Amino acid sequence: MSVTHTGVTAGAAELEPCGQPDHPDCGIRDVLDRVGDKWSVLVIVELAGGPRRFRQLQRAIDGISQRMLTLTVRRLERDGLVLRTVYPTVPAQVDYRLTETGASLTHLVKALADWSLEHRDGIARARRTYDDQHPEHEIR
Amino acid sequence: MSVTHTGVTAGAAELEPCGQPDHPDCGIRDVLDRVGDKWSVLVIVELAGGPRRFRQLQRAIDGISQRMLTLTVRRLERDGLVLRTVYPTVPAQVDYRLTETGASLTHLVKALADWSLEHRDGIARARRTYDDQHPEHEIR
DNA sequence: CTGGATCCTGTGGGATACTG
DNA sequence: CAGTATCCCACAGGATCCAG
């Protein structure tokens, strides 16, 4: 296991007081709602490589519609994770780059990616095993 | 910034080759599709505190429907992140606990939670600022 | 208590066409 | 190029009822 528990402020969130009625969100939700949708993460990943223009992003991120790219970068901008710069040229030119806050998220995304690479085979195997043992109904 | 880039295997995923057609998924997707939905994470967080029964989980995780709890915990089981144990009592009793793989994910979730706590105020401020400067249309 | 089966709605998100 | 505006639908997910 390569993802060890270092480098994270000790005990800032003890993971305990989440989900309760009196503690509706312990802050994870905010991030997760953003990290949750696939596009945001992929945009962040792409921007981790440096500033990108709109089309660059769209071409780099396979499968994203221009509508979703727009929405995604707008939300990231709104959250202060991405900086949007418009150059008043003709035709218009816009570039996006991570803010410092946004850049700090790439570390986590990277950790996620690492974890994923490490465990994807195991997960795939677990799924096959499970599906073999539960042939009847599709868990999905 | 407390989330530093230590403790993660160096360069396992360089974050570069993602999203391209020829590289449809670099493994992040698998995890993200699981981590992505709020319920999975909250279940993992709750189980990080030790084994829980079905009702315990449902009560601990405010707002989850029993249908979604079932689905969520089934998927986590299928992925080998959660172990489901049925005790043939009457009435039935089932407990869920994290597997080792699942437990290793809690570190990441914790890092996410820490990051979130650290930046939630900044993000909230950024949103207000953005919304003030863009009064017309709702980004959402 | 632990779910399975149904029904039903909201909305995330794709496709397409138009503008500056 | 960098978007905005519509139309539209598949599906996530809530509510409910039933069963072992």
Whether residue B111 and residue A106 make contact (CB cut-off 8 A), yes or no, is: no
**Residue of A20, A66, A13 whose CA lies nearest to A39:** A66
Evaluate whether A124 touches A134 at the Cβ level (below 8 Å). no
CB contact under 8 A, B111 and A8: yes
Instruction: Report the nucleotide nearest the CA of residue B54, measured to C1'.
Output: C2
Please give, rounded to a whole number of angstroms, the shortest distance from the CA of A36 to a CA of chain B.
Answer: 4
Q: Please, is B89 exposed, middle or buried when counting C-beta atoms within 10 Å of its C-beta (0-12, 13-18, 19+)?
A: exposed
Residue A9 has a pLDDT of: 37
Q: Is the pLDDT of residue A104 over 70?
A: yes
Predicted confidence band of residue A7 (pLDDT cuts 50, 70, 90) = very low
Q: How far is CA A10 from the centre of its chain?
A: 23
pLDDT value for B32:
77
| Cβ atoms of B21 and A121 closer than 8 Å | no
* Per-residue pLDDT band at A22 (split at 50, 70, 90): very low
Confidence of residue A6 (pLDDT cuts 50, 70, 90): very low
Residue B71 confidence (pLDDT): 96
Beta strands per DSSP E along A11-134: 52-53, 82-87, 93-98
Q: What is the pLDDT of residues B115-134, one digit of tens each?
A: 888 998 999 999 999 999 98
Q: Chain A within 8 Å of B113 (Cβ-Cβ)?
A: yes
Instruction: Report which of residues 90-119 in chain B place their beta carbon less than 7 angstroms from any atom of strand D.
Output: 91-92
pLDDT of residue A105: 92
Give the span between the Cα atoms of B48 and B104, in whole angstroms. 10
Which range, of A25-29, B30-34, B85-89, averages the lowest pLDDT? A25-29
Q: Identify the band that residue A91 occupies on the pLDDT scale cut at 50, 70 and 90.
A: very high
Mean pLDDT of A118-127: 91
What are the b/e assignments for B119-131, b being 16+ CB within 10 Å?
bbeebeebbeebe
Helices assigned H by DSSP within chain B: 28-36, 38-47, 54-60, 66-78, 100-133
pLDDT band at B137 (very low <50, low <70, confident <90, very high): low
Query: Per-residue pLDDT for B75 more than 50?
Result: yes
Percentage of chain B lying above the pLDDT 70 cut: 75
Tell whether omega for the bond before A51 is within 30 degrees of 0, i.e. cis: no
In this structure, are residues A112 and B108 in contact, taking their beta carbons and an 8 Å threshold?
yes
User: CA of A82 vs C1' of D4, distance in Å?
Assistant: 21
Least confident of A25-29, A134-138, B43-47: A25-29
Nearest to A34 by CA among B35, B5, B18, B64: B35
What are the two backbone dihedrals, phi and then psi, of residue A115, each rounded to the nearest 5 degrees?
A: -60, -45
Confirm if B102 and B76 have CB atoms less than 8 A apart. yes
Q: Are B51 and B96 in contact (CB under 8 A)?
A: yes
